């Protein structure tokens, strides 16, 4: 859409700022969950007791929960033109992992005419700022990494009705390549790690799909992994494991041999998501089949894949070809180019290796 044709909701016909009129909307139950992450420095490790940090100022996470709740209730005073909403429930879940990464989830519920995503975001952000404020006397080297909306319901965005998890398929044996494709290093790190980071901004949690113990002793061993729960017979094993581990979620799935995958590719897939089909996936421009290993799978896919697995049909492309899927045309054919052999990888490096982290369709 051309900028001149856009209609800005917070500008009236005269171009003046105003509050959006929601008087015509119906009251409905609306929920939203936002997430913030705070990376703490090693200096704070000795203050961690269980799932909280205890300082002279008091218990950090408990204080952050109080501050975040106060922010939720005052969101309309902080954000211009934000409607006053009766907050009916507000909960916080704050955890810290072995790497001192603090994850904050703030969930808000209301029965109103508009959503509560801003309330959830304000709550998560304020909790993160409170953690920073309470811990900075020990060390100022604290990083608030992100604050983002995870899920919402009661609004227009169907994708956010369910949690979105990410899955990087790495469980193959890479026989044709002669070495593990997940450990290929075209952009300065193992490609599975690169894809893991590529999916992170879009997903509540990202996992590597792998055979049991596959990444022990490698550069990937610290990344969250879902070991196959069924016999490892290809990507279908990883898909079934994911869908059964979090059956309530949508899964954004990519294969580790997609070396030209970029953020624009992921975003277009998300933009075309349809909840009614078992998968939203790209269509192969040349042959017309669904690209099953760059797709969003809905919970309905579990039953379809389980039935196919029981019948000995293990190819996800074949399975999706028999089902009604939402098919998306890629902007560039090379976005979905996979690399399976050493010769193909050498060609990729010579033609595409200078592109910036795979995010430019720019052969030398």
Q: Is residue 16 over pLDDT 90?
A: no
Mark whether 133 is an active-site residue. yes
CA atoms of 210 and 79, how far apart (whole Å): 44
pLDDT at 295: 96
User: How far apart are the C-alpha atoms of 67 and 127, rounded to whole Å?
Assistant: 6
Residue 6 pLDDT > 50 = no
The string of pLDDT tens digits covering residues 116-149 is 999 999 999 999 999 999 999 999 999 999 899 8
What share of the chain in percent tops pLDDT 70? 92
- Residue among 201, 228, 224 at smallest CA distance from 212: 228
Q: Closest Cα partner for 296 from 329, 339, 258, 326?
A: 326
3-state class of 242 per DSSP? helix
Say whether pLDDT at 13 is over 80: no
Burial class, 163, CB count within 10 angstroms (exposed 0-12 / middle 13-18 / buried 19+) = middle
Range in 14-23, 201-210, 267-276 with the lowest mean pLDDT: 14-23
pLDDT in tens, 18-48: 788 888 777 888 889 999 999 999 999 999 9
Decide if pLDDT at 312 tops 90.
Answer: yes
Q: At residue 104, does pLDDT exceed 70?
A: yes
Per annotation, catalytic residue among 133, 228, 257, 271: 133
Helix (H, G, I), strand (E, B) or coil at 150: strand
∠ CA 64-66-69, nearest 5°, is 105
How many residues in the chain? 364
Give yes or no for residue 1 having a pLDDT over 50.
no
Supply the pLDDT for residue 364: 41
Give the residue from 207, 215, 281, 277 showing the smallest Cα distance to 244: 207
Indicate the average pLDDT of the chain: 88
All domains of the chain in start order, with CATH: 28-154 (3.30.70.640), 164-358 (3.90.550.10)
Question: Are the C-beta atoms of residues 31 and 107 closer than 8 Å to each other?
Answer: yes
Cβ burial of 289 (10 Å; 0-12, 13-18, 19+) is: middle
Q: Is 73 exposed, middle or buried (0-12, 13-18, 19+ CB in 10 A)?
A: middle
Per-residue pLDDT tens over the stretch 339-351 = 878 788 888 777 7
């Amino acid at each position: 859409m051309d900028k001149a044709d856009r209609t800005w909701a917070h500008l009236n016909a005269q171009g003046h700022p105003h509050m959006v009129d929601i008087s015509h909307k119906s009251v409905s139950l609306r929920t939203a969950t936002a997430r913030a992450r705070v990376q703490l420095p090693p200096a704070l490790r000795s203050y961690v007791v269980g799932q909280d940090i205890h300082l002279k100022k008091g218990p950090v996470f408990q204080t952050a929960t109080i501050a975040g709740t106060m922010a939720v209730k005052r969101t309309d005073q902080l954000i211009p033109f934000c409607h006053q909403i009766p907050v009916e429930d507000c909960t916080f879940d704050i955890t810290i992992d072995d790497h001192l990464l603090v994850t904050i989830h703030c969930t808000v519920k209301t029965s109103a005419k508009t959503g509560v995503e801003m309330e959830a975001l304000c709550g998560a952000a304020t909790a993160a700022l409170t953690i920073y404020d309470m811990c900075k006397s020990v060390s100022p080297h604290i990083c608030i990494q992100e604050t983002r909306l995870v899920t919402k319901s009661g609004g227009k965005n169907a994708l956010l009705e369910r949690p979105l998890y990410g899955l990087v398929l790495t469980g193959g044996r890479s026989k044709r390549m002669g070495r593990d494709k997940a450990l290929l290093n075209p952009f300065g790190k193992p490609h599975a790690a690169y894809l893991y980071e590529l999916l992170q901004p879009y997903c509540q949690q990202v996992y590597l799909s792998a055979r049991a113990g596959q990444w022990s002793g490698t550069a990937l061993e610290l990344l969250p992994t879902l070991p196959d729960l069924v016999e490892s017979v290809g990507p279908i094993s990883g898909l079934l494991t994911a869908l059964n581990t979090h059956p309530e979620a949508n899964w954004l799935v990519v294969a580790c041999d997609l070396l030209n995958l970029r953020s624009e590719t992921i975003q277009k897939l998300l933009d075309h998501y349809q909840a009614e089909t078992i998968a939203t996936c790209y269509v192969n421009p040349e042959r017309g089949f669904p690209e099953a290993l760059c797709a969003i799978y809905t919970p309905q896919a579990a039953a379809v894949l389980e039935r196919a697995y029981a019948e000995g049909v293990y190819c996800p492309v074949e399975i999706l070809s028999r089902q009604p899927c939402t098919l998306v045309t890629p902007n560039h054919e090379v976005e979905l180019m996979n690399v399976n052999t050493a010769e193909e990888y050498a060609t990729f490096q010579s033609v595409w290796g200078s592109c910036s982290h795979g995010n430019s369709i720019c052969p030398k």
